[in-house]
Amino acid sequence: MVMAKDAHLEHLASVPLFSACSRKELERIAPVSDEISVPAGRVLTEQGDLGQECFVVVEGTVTVDRNGTKLATLGPGSCVGELALLDNGPRTATVTAASPLTVLVIQRNAFRELLDQVPSIAIKLLVSVAGRLREVDERAFG
């Protein structure tokens, strides 16, 4: 069981959104994530829908499409739908299982309760999101 727990923590640590979290913080995040299997072809997120969860890819690949255009193929360590953890806005892309998947699912309500209990996680998420915003800004405006 320890090996499975360690693997779960490693998967969470591999996600850029959570990479700054300490082991102790990851141990607090792990119980609010559920590992599930998803068949190839299943849609995880639909652009425009309201999201309630995010998905961390453990095994397999997903495709990301926006406005009918394929943007990316993502594999293990990728997190999709993470904006749903932070706001109530619509999904920005459609994400589909390109192969059979194993994913960790994190529900928004449980995650927000965790942030209330462990504010240090919220601060690290803000830093991560700010870094990503800076990267986008740099690419768009130089």
Domain boundaries, the chain: 2-108
Mean pLDDT throughout 120-142? Answer: 89
CB count within 10 Å of CB 142 equals 5
Name 61's Cβ contacts closer than 8 Å, sequence gap at least 6: 73, 74, 75, 97, 98, 99, 101
CATH architecture of 2-108: Sandwich (2.60)
How much is the pLDDT for 4? 57
Q: What is the pTM (predicted TM-score) of this model?
A: 0.88
Distance between CA 124 and CA 101 in Å, rounded?
28
- Residue range 78-120, pLDDT digits in tens: 999 988 888 889 999 999 999 999 999 999 999 999 999 999 9
- In the DSSP assignment, the letter for residue 31 is G
